[in-house]
Amino acid sequence: MSKYNPPYFGSDYYPEDWNDEELVKDAQKMRDCGMNVARIAEFAWSKMEPREGQFEFAWLHRVVDTLAEYGIATIMGTPTATPPVWLGRKYPDIFLEQESGRRRAHGGRRHCCSNNPHYREYCARIVEKMAQEFADDENVIGWQIDNEIYAGSTWWLGQSAVVGCFCPVCQEAFRRRLKEKFGTPEAMNKAWNLGVFSQEYSDFDEVPAPRDAWVNPHHRLEWNTFQQESHIAFVHMQADILHKYVHVPVGTDVMPVHGLNYVDLHRKLDVVMFNHYNEPSNLWTLPFWFDMLRPLKKDVPFWNTETATCWNGSNSIDQSVKPEGFCYVNSLMPLALGGEANLYWLWRTHWGGHELMHGAVLDACGRPMHIYDEVCRTGRAMRKAAEFLNATRVRTQIALHFPTRIWNMFSAEPVLPPKQFGYLDTLRPYFYKPLLAELQRCDIIESGNDLDDYKLLITPMCLTLEENGMAERIRKWVEAGGIWIVGPLSDVRDLDGARYKDRPLGVLEEMTGVIWKYAVPDRDREIKCQWADGTPIETGPWLELYAPDSRSLASVASAPHSALVGQSILLRRRVGKGLVYVLGAFMDMEAMRRLYRIAMADAKIPQEEGDGLSFLAVERVGEKGLRGKILLEYAGKGGEYMLDIAAKDILSGKEYMPGRIKVEPYQMLVLKAR
Amino acid sequence: MSKYNPPYFGSDYYPEDWNDEELVKDAQKMRDCGMNVARIAEFAWSKMEPREGQFEFAWLHRVVDTLAEYGIATIMGTPTATPPVWLGRKYPDIFLEQESGRRRAHGGRRHCCSNNPHYREYCARIVEKMAQEFADDENVIGWQIDNEIYAGSTWWLGQSAVVGCFCPVCQEAFRRRLKEKFGTPEAMNKAWNLGVFSQEYSDFDEVPAPRDAWVNPHHRLEWNTFQQESHIAFVHMQADILHKYVHVPVGTDVMPVHGLNYVDLHRKLDVVMFNHYNEPSNLWTLPFWFDMLRPLKKDVPFWNTETATCWNGSNSIDQSVKPEGFCYVNSLMPLALGGEANLYWLWRTHWGGHELMHGAVLDACGRPMHIYDEVCRTGRAMRKAAEFLNATRVRTQIALHFPTRIWNMFSAEPVLPPKQFGYLDTLRPYFYKPLLAELQRCDIIESGNDLDDYKLLITPMCLTLEENGMAERIRKWVEAGGIWIVGPLSDVRDLDGARYKDRPLGVLEEMTGVIWKYAVPDRDREIKCQWADGTPIETGPWLELYAPDSRSLASVASAPHSALVGQSILLRRRVGKGLVYVLGAFMDMEAMRRLYRIAMADAKIPQEEGDGLSFLAVERVGEKGLRGKILLEYAGKGGEYMLDIAAKDILSGKEYMPGRIKVEPYQMLVLKAR
Amino acid sequence: MSKYNPPYFGSDYYPEDWNDEELVKDAQKMRDCGMNVARIAEFAWSKMEPREGQFEFAWLHRVVDTLAEYGIATIMGTPTATPPVWLGRKYPDIFLEQESGRRRAHGGRRHCCSNNPHYREYCARIVEKMAQEFADDENVIGWQIDNEIYAGSTWWLGQSAVVGCFCPVCQEAFRRRLKEKFGTPEAMNKAWNLGVFSQEYSDFDEVPAPRDAWVNPHHRLEWNTFQQESHIAFVHMQADILHKYVHVPVGTDVMPVHGLNYVDLHRKLDVVMFNHYNEPSNLWTLPFWFDMLRPLKKDVPFWNTETATCWNGSNSIDQSVKPEGFCYVNSLMPLALGGEANLYWLWRTHWGGHELMHGAVLDACGRPMHIYDEVCRTGRAMRKAAEFLNATRVRTQIALHFPTRIWNMFSAEPVLPPKQFGYLDTLRPYFYKPLLAELQRCDIIESGNDLDDYKLLITPMCLTLEENGMAERIRKWVEAGGIWIVGPLSDVRDLDGARYKDRPLGVLEEMTGVIWKYAVPDRDREIKCQWADGTPIETGPWLELYAPDSRSLASVASAPHSALVGQSILLRRRVGKGLVYVLGAFMDMEAMRRLYRIAMADAKIPQEEGDGLSFLAVERVGEKGLRGKILLEYAGKGGEYMLDIAAKDILSGKEYMPGRIKVEPYQMLVLKAR
């Protein structure tokens, strides 16, 4: 139906950098290197509404039309991250108030308050005008709302930080929220244990913004969540407007950080958009995000809207030249894992401003960067694989919990020092990487996801099981036959981040019959554990110990304190038709792989064989028996894979028989089963 | 007379966390593990005065009574660290003004201005109400004023930091103080050398709070002292009120930091209370504090009001599981060194709020933590040793100067970079640890302490000798026969932190006849020294060199600069009947031990033999010839001790004869002489 | 003519510290150790004008006269860095506004706004009064304006920092400046590419100070330059006043940092004054600054107004005792390299205030510090060499570009992370140190310097060639026969720090015919290069690659990406009668020395032989064939030099014949040719 078909391959483009002559040249060159889409306009509010109420779209139509002439579709961005100077001059209250009490100033981006009525009013208007203007343009194939919206400021440290805007509008909205949630101050006092430190409130008006104090962690958790939800509401306001006019997918490009609940965010969105910037040293972490994006919209392939061709950078570059092939697999990985688009940021290096050191396809003067041929090769591979990719979907039977609520709880209450024990930075190596090593694909899910499609569920570090009725829904799923690995640090808090007063765990003792004994920090890693057969296990900085019994799979072999020795760290319990593995420790890679293999056997999930820390193996299935596997080498060292089907690699044309095959560094094989 | 007898063993307890049913259970369990005291109420203002002027004490009586039913006495805390929200709402000026100009906000604790009249008025009233309410309750055996009151913010870095509150009330009070101290601005200008940088004031009203500037160090010193004294005055205000009503000891729990003058603080207090949180790596530093607490109230054993059973932590834990026996000796050490109480913070982990990761005796749901049995064992040991402990006192003949004024002077004028040369972090390893190694006990004293009880006095890094007439009092004590080790960095400043204009040292040259030559920093440790017999001495980052003569004990052997070679770093001088050792260097452990042995021989102090870096040996004496020694292993590695008496270990019942005996890791022996 | 002749040897002196009796003693002692000059009065405003409009100079005359009695001339400082308290009390707006919005407070120094009219008015008046008072005093041989004036705050990190004062006066002046520079907001929008991020302004009044935002780098560059020029204007205002009255040289003491354009600063000044504090580890960096100072006033020897005798320090010392001889060569180096004065900071340690730990000649009580004899020896050497020094000048034929504009551009746009890639910290080891190693002397110049005196010009990291018509002036100089080494990172930006839209380089491609291919960061140093003969070259964190041809001297041998292999990093091009070396890489020491030797051969500059990383060899020439060489050992390890003349060392009296000679650690030889 559309003029344009996936996979989408393209880049961000800033017509505001260039004149019309350069625009034509750029469009030609995009086509020449195999592209079919460009993202534009995300920061161009001052071009569209140079003065209040004076709208100018002719230039933007010219851009869309010129791109289309060369076969390039447009993803249109709303420019709300960067209001024009006249708006801030008229309403200085649009700027967010920093923790210091100072308002942010004009310049930069994402510096406004999502709750501010003036800001929202003018955002709504520019979005509506754009929607009206381009609703019927067949060359616009998607809409992106705002850009990289995020409420946090120091997520990269995993630190417990107060986030967002402290302006009076936000404070007022926060107090209204508390009132709606708790009804009375007494209820809040009780939920947050505010009797301690005489923090009790008698009126919601007394509750300050969380600053200038040793902030109560429950207060902080609520505030951070409030700020995040304000951002989601801001996106939804735009989505509602766009949906009145446009008929193509609407999304917003998110980042590889938590802090907005992506499930909630996407309730009113049609497509998941994602930006990321990885290096060779951390490319293994990227599949994690695609495994998280894929289940957000089960039937709609996501769009990778930003990645670098060669390096990212603002006014300075903190990356090094990357090995040949990195760009290729980095660009193809989203398609292998369930996406249908890969766009670069950006087509042509900015010639001025904040980000002129960022890598691109062309340099500022229009010459190809060194990565140009690799980009073209990527485009060709995408075309070759297009039919197979479009006709198949990723298949997985495993799910791993990674809820936003938990991210926020670790921010407010980190358990161990956050720089050494960030939620993501702990969960990923301890629980996701062993799955990678086993060449298994999982869905990474929120607390509310349906579990019916999965045979094996992994729930580590999930401080509370109270959100979205998790505990009960998991219980039913286990009783019906599910295999559940739970812990450590799961089920130990209520929804507000408080401990249970009458039991150490919310439901696990009652559900499985295990008996909690002790929890201990082990920063210095002095506690040594072992499997029942005596195989040693190295454990991480936190242990939860259970009363041992005959169904204990692993336990403490030695410890600085005798009370700990012999206690169990892993227990197996039958619940209904299913099984629960109660895990109390952060175990080493080998031990976790062993546990996963045991549980996969329980769950009847076929095991894979190969160098899973070098490449991904992705099962793809389509209609009418169409199936195959994509292998994608991401470590630059190559490896071997035990192929279980006869297949042909669509990219190389090479035929494969079942058996051990080689995967070259940075190679992608699209193996269509015969 | 009292229902309750020392030693006191117990913990902090927060009835505000629990309902009455849990209270009863907790009281029972406290009794079960050998406890006889609980600290309560320190932050519970909002429970006692939920609305202005409406006082509710019934609940608190119920707590005290319930505890008493199970044999648990109460130490009652005044809740002034945490005013209720209504007070800050009515008088926002109670909150301290930060250096940034922003007021602190409700939440957390210790966030109010000690000089604010509204805060003081309401504090006085709640304290008086409590005093009236509980004055006659025989189960209340002591009162704790506020909690961990302290004026500083960055003491842990040893940094020169401006501290305290910058509000108008404080600024006004500071200017009044300057006027009282100096009389005229001219006098201040002269004392602080304000002619330099054109800083001179013509009116005290011109003096700003020390911020937003490269602050004059004398100004900073005065301000910091002022803030500290404001805190002391705030405590004294409460003490005066309590003393009108109550007849049991009143104290305030201080921390292992300086910055409040503990001698001044305790002038109006009856008992010294102390909180600390050590780990195995720094347990050797803990005796330092007990040696400092003991002389504060010569005849009153101090109370260790807080330590952890297993780890401390707020919302995260930055400690690791500790070896078995650590809790035992950590809990008993205060009793060995002159205390009569050890309480844990806390009995039962908070279930919500700021500090739910802190270790306790029971976890939040009431189950024993892994340390439970060790706690019980500690209680039993305390009971066994009670009679001997109560009947004897620690004996020492050595004193080490560690005045608050000097702490403050190093904060304002650090001499060498403060992160590498903190006062405490330099004094303790260089001057206290060699005493530990020699198994000697010293009193750690302020500038004003009486010296008559001591035979050997050590005064290193004591920048000024002007406070409390130190110089003249020491001179007389030496002339009467005292042995004094003084320097380096002693007697080099006047009381305001200025150098002498006409001499390098205040009194030492004149008193002893030594001749000061040079002072040099030696960050890179290139200067090598030696004893007169040629034994090499490693020296630290600062040296003061004296003209050598026949009474030089040690001197520079080699140096980057020829002017330094041959100069003396240690001179011995007879003064009256006594001796002065003028020390110019931070010497290595072996050299300091040698110097101490020489000086102890002069002072006729018997020497000890044993592994002093593994255990303490504490001489205890009582009436009617009662005497003995306590040995307490604190390093977890054990050692040998040359016992000079025949004695019986009260704890094990084992008899010992004079001679070499073994001390096991984390063992305490209470050796009562026969 | 003057009573006083160079070389000037002396120190800073603070009569405000001492009474008249001490003053006499100090003057005597200065004379005794060979001094003939003292700097005074720089911070003594409150002594000269204790109350508004009441001027007191009698004391200052007494100081000048007393010094003169002992043969000590005076350099007189204006005290504008430290206004008296009454001025700030009357006009609180004199204090600069910090980025936080808070004004600086009284105390410290350099805390006022250079643009504030009240501050400028009172500064002008005190300067005029001083000038009138001392204009005819023959003992005042020079004037120093203010002290260490500088607009930056974090230069020591090489960080991109917004600098200066944010007060309304500054903001208003900045907006006026923008209007003068750009005429219309549209022109500014275009130059700074403000269409990106909707930053466009429609009125200069809308432009905020660069804070509270992700600041646009062009905006930041302009602001920083504005602040610096405000400081220069402030100095010039004082210079104009002084020049109305005084007839001796006027200067201002600058620091070894950029950020003020020293060429512009000195347009109205008569002598260059310089303060520095080096340690053994970085003494090799000091000649860089003297090579930069020397060409600022071609015919006027500069004055080294501050260095330490032994260590610097404020209230703490972060240096260690230095080796004997360090003070000697550190003090003589400025004279060897074109100066005629060396003064210490300070004569006698302050007895109170901010800086009482700083090393001096005497300690606070007037006793000699350990460095005293070395200071005297330095004075004697200066006297001996005086005639030769006064009669000769340093000769060099090489220039190295180091423009202030580029410093500012790297601050605003650092290319690579600034902590690893500071402009100075990269340029100096990669481009200056190899010249040191080759025993060559160069002038370090601004963009506008005349080139006629040079045969070889080195222009690395010179982001723009647009300032002062550099590109065209260099082209003409090359065409006339100059040898030019240019790059890397040169000619890649316009004057506002933007890239060229139509070409990668401003002029170099057009001028030389080279073809730019790619630029790549190589943080991990994986790219390996080689000379055409196969000799390997290690390269730094950034490479610019050119299309190779027969005139390529060096190229990429191996790289992570095949597109880079074989590309050239060094091309040689004939342009007119001259040669251009287009350099694309930061090469290792050996490779740079090889390139310099090739280029020196082209330029017919004689090569030197000797341990250039141990000592300097400075060619000195005078009138009537007077010539010679100064050798100065700065590394403390000694070395050998191939002397090419017969000469006598004026200091030792020793005669030398051409041939290999030894240079001892910290030795200076003043070799006068026979």
Instruction: Provide the pLDDT for residue C154.
Output: 40
Which residues of chain C are within 8 Å of residue A374 when distances are taken between CB atoms? 561, 563
DSSP B42-100: TT-HHHH-SBTTB---HHHHHHHHHHHHTT-EEEEEP-TTS--HHHHHH-GGGBPBPTT
Best probe of the B interface among A174, A212, A495, by most B CBs < 10 A, is A212
- Three state DSSP letters for C523-589: CCCCCEEEECCCCEEEEEEEEEEECCCCCEEEEEEECCCHHHCCCEEEEEEEECCEEEEEECEEECH
Nearest to A196 among B14, B106, B365 (CB): B14
Tell me how close the Cα of B126 comes to any Cα of chain A, in angstroms. Answer: 13
Residue B152 — very low, low, confident or very high, per pLDDT cuts 50/70/90? low
Residue A521 and residue B311: Cβ atoms within 8 Å?
A: yes
C-alpha A622, offset from chain centre: 26
Separation of alpha carbons C456 and A452, rounded Å: 77
C-beta neighbour count of C117 within 10 angstroms: 12
With 0.95 as the threshold, say if the pTM is over it. Answer: yes
Identify the chains in contact with C, defined as 3+ C-beta pairs within 8 A: A, B
What are the tokens at A107? 């310049």
Which burial class, exposed, middle or buried, applies to B21 when counting CB atoms under 10 A from its CB (0-12, 13-18, 19+)? exposed
Q: Which residues of C touch A103 (CB under 8 A)?
A: 212
Confidence of residue C159 (pLDDT cuts 50, 70, 90): very low
Mean pLDDT, chain B, whole residue set: 96
**pLDDT band with cut points at 50, 70 and 90 for residue A542:** very high
Which site among C159, C198, C507 would you substitute to test the A interface, given the most A Cβ atoms closer than 10 Å to its Cβ? C198
Give the nearest partner residue to C316 out of B201, B202, B417, using CB atoms: B417
Angle value at C-alpha B365, between B359 and B369, nearest 5 degrees: 40
3-class DSSP state of A309? coil
Min distance A209 CA to chain B CA atoms (Å): 9
Is A222's pLDDT higher than 70? yes
Nearest CA in chain C to B197: C43
Q: What is the pLDDT of residue C1?
A: 54
Nearest residue to C471 (alpha-carbon basis) of C435, C447, C453: C447
A-chain residues near C520 (CB < 8 A) = 310, 321, 370
Q: Is the pLDDT of residue A339 over 80?
A: yes
Residues in chain C closer than 8 A to A321 (CB atoms):
520-522, 526-527, 559-561, 564
Q: CA–CA separation, C268 vs C252, rounded Å?
A: 11
Cβ contacts below 8 Å, chain A against chain C, sum to 187
Give B172-212 pLDDT, tens digit per residue.
999 999 999 999 999 999 999 999 999 999 999 999 999 99
The tens digit of pLDDT for each residue in B85-136 reads: 999 999 999 999 998 899 999 999 999 999 999 999 999 999 999 999 999 9
CA distance B338 to chain A (A): 29
Chains that touch B (3 or more CB pairs under 8 A): A, C
* pLDDT of B669 higher than 50: yes
Whole-angstrom Cα distance, residue A182 to residue C129?
72
What is residue A268's DSSP assignment? Answer: G
Query: Is B89 within 8 Å of A206 when comparing Cβ atoms?
Result: yes
The DSSP H or E segment spanning C593 is helix C589-603
Indicate if the pLDDT at residue B159 is higher than 50: no
Interface contact C352-B196, CB threshold 8 A: yes
At residue B217, the pLDDT reads 95
Counted across chains B and C, CB pairs separated by less than 8 A come out at 188
CA–CA distance, B409 with B222 (Å, rounded to integer): 9
- B523 contact residues in C (CB cutoff 8 A): 318-320
Q: What is the DSSP string of C132-154?
A: HHHTT-TTEEEEE-SSS----S-
> Cis bond leading into C7, ω under 30°?
yes
Return the H-helix or E-strand segment holding C335. Answer: helix C326-336
Q: How far apart are CA C249 and CA C523, in angstroms?
A: 48
pLDDT grade, residue B153 (50/70/90)? Answer: low
Out of C85, C322, C324, name the one closest to residue B206 (CB).
Answer: C85
- The DSSP H or E segment spanning A304 is strand A302-306
pLDDT, tens only, C519-532: 999 999 999 999 99
pLDDT of residue C613: 97
Structure tokens at B114: 């000690």
Distance CA A177, CA B259 (A): 43
Yes or no, beta carbons of C370 and B518 under 8 Å apart? yes
Burial environment of residue C299 by CB neighbours within 10 A (0 to 12, 13 to 18, 19 or more): exposed
Say which of C208, C218, C522 has its CB closest to residue A106.
Answer: C208
Residue B631 backbone phi and psi in degrees, to 5: -110, 135
pLDDT at res. A156: 36
Sorted by sequence, the CB contacts under 8 Å of residue B494 that are 6+ apart come out as B464, B466, B500, B506
Name residues whose C-beta falls within 8 Å of residue C642's C-beta, 6 or more positions apart in sequence.
C608, C609, C610, C659, C660, C661
CA distance A281 to A277: 12
Asked whether the beta carbons of B453 and B423 are under 8 A apart, the reply is: no
pLDDT, tens digit, 9 for 90 and up, residues C110-156: 999 999 999 999 999 999 999 999 999 999 999 999 999 987 654 33
**B461: alpha, beta or left, given left = phi > 0 and alpha = psi -120 to 50?**
left
* pLDDT band, residue B161 (cuts 50/70/90): very low
**Residue-level pLDDT at A162:** 46
The three-state secondary structure class of C5 is: coil
Residue C208: is the preceding peptide bond cis (ω within 30°)?
no
Residue C386, φ and ψ in degrees, nearest 5:
-55, -50
Q: Kindly indicate the confidence band of residue C158, based on its pLDDT and cuts at 50, 70 and 90.
A: very low
Q: What's the one-letter identity of residue C13?
A: Y
Closest C-alpha among B23, B79, B89, B71 to residue B46: B79
**Residue C315 pLDDT more than 50?**
yes
Q: Give the Cα-Cα-Cα angle A321, A325, A329 (nearest 5 degrees).
A: 115
- The tens digit of pLDDT for each residue in C397-419 reads 999 999 999 999 998 999 999 88
Give the pLDDT of residue A1.
Answer: 54
pLDDT at position B3 is 86
Residue C163 has pLDDT above 80, yes or no: no
Q: Which of C194, C212, C216 sits opposite A102 (nearest CB)?
A: C212
Exposed e or buried b per residue across A426-444, where buried means at least 16 C-beta atoms within 10 angstroms of its C-beta: bbbbbbbbbbbbbbbbbbb
pLDDT digits (tens, 9 = 90+) for C586-614: 999 999 999 999 999 999 999 999 999 99
Task: Label residue B158 by pLDDT band (50, 70, 90).
Answer: very low
